[in-house]
Amino acid sequence: MATKKFLELQEFTDVDLENELKEAQTEYRKLKFDHAVAGLENPLVLRSLRRDIARIKTEMRRREVAGMSAEEIAKRDRIRLRRKLNKK
């Protein structure tokens, strides 16, 4: 089930996603510093912000993979298979 935030991110343009990522990372650093110095009233805000950053990065990567050519995807698949075989 897709979350509301994920569905909202799909409607953003690439530039909007980059701006949103920069803003979220800046806010996360600020809140993390504030939490280390004085403590936050609700430290779970850090977790939700981290997850939002991950959602944004995931959407950016999904778009990057969607724009790849068949040759690039085949190369990517070979690399992933080689990594999987090396783990065993």
Q: Kindly report, residue by residue over 27-45, the tens digit of the pLDDT.
A: 999 999 999 999 889 999 9
Structural domain tally of the chain?
1
Residue 17 to residue 8: CA distance in whole angstroms = 11
Residue 88, in any domain of the structure: no
Structural domain for 35, as ranges? 1-45
Q: What is the dihedral of CA 24, 26, 31, 36, to 10 degrees?
A: 140
Share of the chain above pLDDT 70, in %: 97
pLDDT of residue 44: 93
Residue type, 60: M
Residue 84, in any domain of the structure: no
